[in-house]
Amino acid sequence: KTSVDANTRITISVNDKNLVNKKDNLRNDLISLTSIDKVEISVEADVIVLDVDNDYFDSSPVKKIFDKWELNYKEEFDTSVIADSEF
């Protein structure tokens, strides 16, 4: 996988009591997408956080992965800019 220049953080609220069982499969599938640099899944906070390159990010493959694993999630993703540390 090529290096991803992550410039955006996407937070997805999840409401799925089986998230703990799906976590590893979700992480493996999500990290395989070319626009995603980092995947964090918090079972305690019921969120999935993706660091992505916003120039290439498309939510459709992410939602297909969620549907594949029958994940109950909030359709609207929260996005925020990741500050660039290079001055």
What is the four-CA torsion angle of 32, 35, 40, 45, rounded to 10 degrees? Answer: -120
For the segment 12-63, what is each residue's pLDDT rounded down to a tens digit? 999 999 999 999 999 999 999 999 999 999 999 999 999 999 999 999 999 9
**Given pLDDT bands bounded at 50, 70 and 90, which one contains residue 1?**
low
Q: In this structure, what token pair is assigned to residue 87?
A: 């001055």
H-helix or E-strand spanning residue 61? helix 59-68
CA distances from 9 to 15, 36, 72 (A): 20, 10, 20
The whole model's pTM is what? 0.90
For the segment 54-74, what is each residue's pLDDT rounded down to a tens digit? 999 999 999 999 999 999 999
User: In this model, does residue 87 exceed pLDDT 60?
Assistant: no
Q: Helix (H, G, I), strand (E, B), or coil: what is residue 12? A: strand
